[in-house]
Chain A
Amino acid sequence: MKGLSAISILSKIEPLLLKVQKPAQYIGGEVGSIVKDKENVKVSFAFCFPDTYEIGMSHLGMKILYGLINRREEFCCERVFAPDTDFEELMREEKIPLYALESLTPVAEFDMIGFTLQYELAYTNILNMLDLAGIPIYAKDRGDSMEQMVFAGGPCVCNPEPIADFFDFFILGEGEEVNLEVMDLYAEMKEQCASRHEFLCRAAQIEGVYVPSLYDVSYNDDGTIKSIEPLTNAPKTVRKRIIKDFDKVYYPETFVVPFTEIVHDRSVVEVLRGCIRGCRFCQAGFIYRPFREKTPDTICKQADDLCKNTGYEELSLSSLSTSDHSEIDEMLTKLLEVTEEKRVNMSLPSLRVDNFSDTLMEKIKRIRKSGLTFAPEAGTQRLRDVINKNVSDEEIMRTAEIAFSGGYFNVKLYFMMGLPTETDEDIAGIAEIADRIIELFFQNPNRPRGKMVQVSVSVATFVPKPFTPFEFEPQATEEEIIHKQEHLMNSINPRNARKIKVSWHEFRISQLEGVLARGDRKLSSVIYAAWKNGSHFDSWSDRFKWECWESAFEECGIAPEFYASRRRSYDETMPWDHLNYLIDKSFLIREHKKALKAETTPHCRENCSGCGVNREVGRSCF
């Protein structure tokens, strides 16, 4: 498919664009997009998001790396998304290869092809995109030249083993420095006409770069891992990268502003990285450590620049827990000055219930009205102690009270089911919380008049993830989950049934996520077979086809239960044990034991629990 120029791509797609939904997503040219003349570029980078435009364009990491790389004159970074099924069908019919949006050149012509792995269920989309691009799917088939170097970064890279066979290398941790280091090395070795293997061996010496082909994995008879050994002088363990001075790290002054509406269509400022909370189910809470924040002045400056340069009418703040910013009041006060002057609306996701103060509420009340979202995660105090979600019933009720007095009448509650040690009592607790919130609404003299309270209860199936204290835990089975769902529905007070809306994820999707999250290299053949059987867009519940996966597992002779619903012992070698996310395994074991005893761990600001990050970083976190 090589050799197709941009002009021929354009002439080939033009007759097709009016036949598909939202054609503007396939043609580029948005305000803020950067088109460079490839003649003057030393290394070209196709940044691939393995989902549709409307999802991928909402992703902050892509915006950061896009700006960062394009700031360097000798590099170019272009965007690539998975075409929706209507356009993909036409592309395949007309033999149009996957292309990048800026220059409309085929992805196959780029030097480096980087994917961001935000969720496990996008894995089949990666294979599909490589196939559409005409790039060999298995890394071993890509030949000896340095062309088409396929790599990935993002949170799922903390256990990339199930997809290791498809990638030349992975980047662990935060990308702002290491991506440029790798591209510099690429530029240098491309000039020397080095081979793929030579490049990968050198790249493996860069901190944060993991080259899976340089490691040999051996297995025990029971299918568990015996050892993971580096083959050459690659490091025995690969350490993730972190940005030391987060306040000074590069942040884009503008975004590519799409024409079509996307999921998060607004300016975003990242206010902090990492999380102090240590909720035991939450992978992000561990793999993004240590906690670092930007100063209110930096945040305001970045908000101001973005609002001005994008023209967006809305600003939101990004973090794992914005209300944990040490100067939250000063930050919001200053930000509101900026946004009010500019007629910009501010939205605030990720606010925790427990430090929702009246004054903070007063401030955000000026901002939005539609609804409030809380995540108690579990129905009883005991189970919340197990998962270290330090939120009490009283705090949930107090927050609902403030919310109702503040004019809110929609409350969204997030829970999980299938958590370790969970009993029927914990499940019934979910219904009780919803019930008590409704009662609170009617008892509140200041409740919004003429409105009916609506409590949406969203119950996800718990998926144990690597680098969390629950990485040893089995995932609940289908029978268990069905029982829990039934028990929840039976526990709802019939009087309030119409005011409570319960939703949950399809079990098979969560199970597959669990398999892929803690899987090993043996799964690559399953992923390949599932894609061949017609799976992609697995994270879209309307397109998820379990039968494709079911037969893939069968064809490969692999039982999903081995990965999803098996308890691991503390001394089992995990597929990701050679990847160092700065968290000690002994800490995870300690936390796991405490969880089983329903003992909580205070947050990092209160007391260091010794996860190991500060030793690795060389300073205390606070």
Chain B
Amino acid sequence: MKFIVRMRFTKTGRAKYISHLDLMRCFQRCIRCAELPIAYSEGYHPHMHIIFAAALSLGFESNYEVIELGFSEELSLYDLKSRMQAVLPDGIDIISCYAPKHKMGEISYAEYEITLPCSDGEKLLYDWKKFISSDKIIVQKKTKRGYREIDLKELTECISEKNENDKIILEIRLPAGSTVNVNPSILIEEFGKNVQIPFDFPKFCRKKLLCTEKTEFF
């Protein structure tokens, strides 16, 4: 009988440069440091019961990372949180620990906040509105079987957009999960080809993971 817990955590600051595989290894080591009763699989090479909900692109920040941990015995969620937090690197902050509600496969969307630093926010925001209201935004998406054309216009939902003079901040929702997954960087890359004034190094932050009905994933 396994005791299964999900943990929501942030990945900010320096931690955003930890790749997905490296983060996996980091969690494994931190679990050992915290001396938690993690469950191992059977077999010749036992591995820890650790599952990440959705991989995050290298360089993205996030307030909504979810990891599932299986333990060989029940333990207090408060205790788990404090023991893990004590050993995790800066930038990885545990927000909550809870019993799983949804299946991992139910993840269907993700919301992102995208910050585009620039010299003239008003102009850039104007460009953005024009760009996102075009009929079609066709890009080539790299898949396992070569390239495929997708229409980003159809797939992107705009939640908000604001001008802060030296930058614009966009909030968008895109399909995420195992069936369709769209990385917001391809949208921003395409937008970069359609602007009058160039913007600086864009910053991405994943704000939410959502289920099929666009309710929060737990």
Of chain B, the residue at the smallest CB distance from A26 is B17
Asked if A24 and B87 sit within 8 Å, CB to CB, the answer is: no
Write out the residue numbers on chain A whose beta carbons fall within 8 Å of the beta carbon of B149. none
Q: CB distance A31 to B200 under 8 Å?
A: no
Which B positions have Cβ atoms within 8 angstroms of A?
13-15, 17-19, 22-23, 25-26, 28-33, 35, 40, 46, 58-59, 87-91, 200-201
B14 touches A29 (CB 8 A): yes
Contact of A309 with B14 at beta-carbon distance under 8 Å, contacts A24-B22, A29-B91, A259-B26 already known:
no
Decide yes or no: A17 and B59 within 8 Å by CB, A29-B89, A31-B87, A311-B33 being known contacts: yes
- A30, B89: Cβ atoms closer than 8 Å: yes
The residues of B that contact A260 with a CB separation of less than 8 Å are 19, 22
Specify which chain B residues have a CB less than 8 angstroms from the CB of A342 in the assembled complex: 32
> Can you give 14 A-B contacts (C-beta < 8 A)?
A14-B201, A23-B17, A28-B14, A29-B14, A29-B15, A29-B90, A31-B30, A31-B88, A259-B19, A259-B25, A261-B22, A308-B35, A311-B30, A311-B32
Q: Which residues of A are in contact with B by a Cβ distance under 8 Å?
A: 14-15, 17-18, 22-24, 26-31, 257, 259-261, 307-313, 342-343
Pick from A15, A30, A307: contact of B201, CB below 8 A.
A15
Q: Which residues of A contact B32 (CB under 8 A)?
A: 307-308, 311-313, 342
Nearest CB in chain B: distance from A9 CB, A = 12
A24 to B17, CA, bound (A): 5
Distance in Å from the Cβ of B142 to the closest Cβ of chain A?
Answer: 17
Are the C-beta atoms of B18 and A311 separated by less than 8 Å?
Answer: no
Residues of chain B within 8 A (CB-CB) of A28 are 14
Give, as a whole number of angstroms, the nearest-CB distance from B10 to chain A: 14
CA distance A15 to B59 in the complex (A): 10
* Known pairs A308-B32, A309-B33 / 12 extra A-B pairs, C-beta < 8 Å: A15-B201, A22-B19, A23-B58, A24-B22, A29-B15, A29-B89, A259-B17, A259-B89, A261-B22, A308-B35, A313-B32, A343-B46
State A23–B60 Cα separation when bound (angstroms): 13
| Separation of A563 and B164 alpha carbons in the complex (Å) | 66
| A15 surroundings in chain B (CB, below 8 A) | 200-201
A311 and B14 within 8 A (CB): no
How far does the Cβ of A497 sit from chain B's closest Cβ, in whole Å? 35
Q: How far is the CB of B101 from chain A (nearest CB, A)?
A: 29
Contact across chains for B26 and A31 when beta carbons are under 8 A apart: yes
CB–CB A24/B33 < 8 A: no
CA A234 to CA B18, docked complex, whole Å: 49
Q: How far is it, in angstroms, between the C-alpha of A480 and the C-alpha of B46 when the chains are bound?
A: 52
* Docked pose: A36 CA to B18 CA in angstroms: 22
Select which of A23, A259, A311, A312 is within 8 A of B87 by beta carbon. A311
Q: How far is the CA of A313 from the CA of B14 in the complex (A)?
A: 24
Give A309 to B29 CA distance when docked, in angstroms: 9
B18 engages A259 (CB within 8 Å): yes
Assembly CA distance A102 to B26 (angstroms): 18
| Cα(A312)–Cα(B89), bound, Å | 15
Contacts of B58 in A (CB 8 A): 18, 23
Q: In the complex, which residues of chain A have a beta carbon less than 8 angstroms from the beta carbon of B13?
A: 29
3 nearest A-B pairs in the assembled complex, by CB-CB distance:
A311-B29, A29-B14, A15-B201
- A14: nearest chain-B partner, CB-CB: B201
Q: Kindly report which residue of chain A lies nearest to residue B35, judged by CB atoms.
A: A308
Whole-angstrom distance from the CB of A93 to the nearest CB of chain B?
15
Q: In the complex, what's the smallest C-beta–C-beta distance from A123 to chain B, in angstroms?
A: 31
- Shortest Cβ distance from B15 into chain A, in angstroms? 7
Given contacts A17-B59, A308-B35, are A31 and B18 in contact (CB under 8 A)?
A: no
Taking the nearest CB of chain A, how far is it from the CB of B74, in angstroms? 21
Separation of A307 and B35 alpha carbons in the complex (Å): 11
List chain A residues, Cβ under 8 A from B15.
Answer: 29
Q: In the complex, how many angstroms separate the beta carbon of B112 from the nearest chain A beta carbon?
A: 16
Chain B nearest CB from A304 CB (Å) reads 12
- CB-CB under 8 A from B90, the residues of chain A are 29
Q: Are B59 and A23 in contact (CB under 8 A)?
A: yes
Q: How far is the CA of A546 from the CA of B210 in the complex (A)?
A: 58
Residues of chain B lying within 8 A (CB to CB) of residue A259: 17-19, 22-23, 25-26, 89
**Within the complex, what minimum Cβ distance (angstroms) separates A78 from chain B?**
14
Chain A minimum-CB-distance residue to B14: A29
How far is B35's CA from A310's CA once the two chains are assembled, in angstroms? 11
- Nearest chain B CB to A293 CB, angstrom units: 28
Contact assessment for A27 and B28 in the assembled complex, using a CB-CB cutoff below 8 Å: no
Measured CA separation A14–B200 after assembly (Å): 11
Q: How far is the CB of A342 from chain B (nearest CB, A)?
A: 8
Q: How many angstroms from the CA of A26 to the CA of B16 in the assembled complex?
A: 12
Q: Of all chain A residues, which has the CB nearest B23?
A: A259
Of B14, B23, B33, B201, the contact of A308 (CB 8 Å cutoff): B33
Chain A residues, CB < 8 A from B46: 343
Report yes or no: A17 in contact with B29, Cβ–Cβ below 8 A.
no
In the bound complex, CA of A600 to CA of B23 (Å) = 53
Chain A residue, CB-CB nearest to B202: A15
Tell me the complex Cα distance, A343–B48, Å.
11
Nearest chain-B residue to A258 (Cβ)?
A: B22
Query: Shortest CB–CB separation between residue B71 and chain A, in angstroms?
Result: 15
| Closest residue on chain A to residue B27 by CB atoms | A311
| Chain B proximity of A380: nearest CB distance (Å) | 43
Closest to B29 in A: A311
B28 and A311: CB pair below 8 A? Answer: yes
Determine the chain B residues whose CB is within 8 A of the CB of A313 once the complex forms. 28-29, 32
Q: Is the CB of B29 within 8 A of A310?
A: yes
Distance of A307 Cα from B23 Cα, bound (Å): 19
| A309 CB contacts on chain B under 8 angstroms | 33
Contacts of B201 in A (CB 8 A): 14-15
Q: Residue on B with the closest CB to A11?
A: B201
Expressed in whole angstroms, the Cα–Cα distance for A261 and B21 within the complex equals: 10
Do the beta carbons of A27 and B14 come within 8 Å of each other? Answer: yes
Nearest-Cβ distance from residue A39 to partner chain B, whole angstroms: 20
B14 contacts across to A, CB distance below 8 A: 27-29
Q: A587–B13 Cα gap in the complex (Å)?
A: 58
Given known contacts A14-B201, A311-B31, A311-B32, A31 and B59 CB-to-CB distance under 8 angstroms: no
Residues of chain A contacted by B19 (CB below 8 angstroms): 22, 24, 259-260
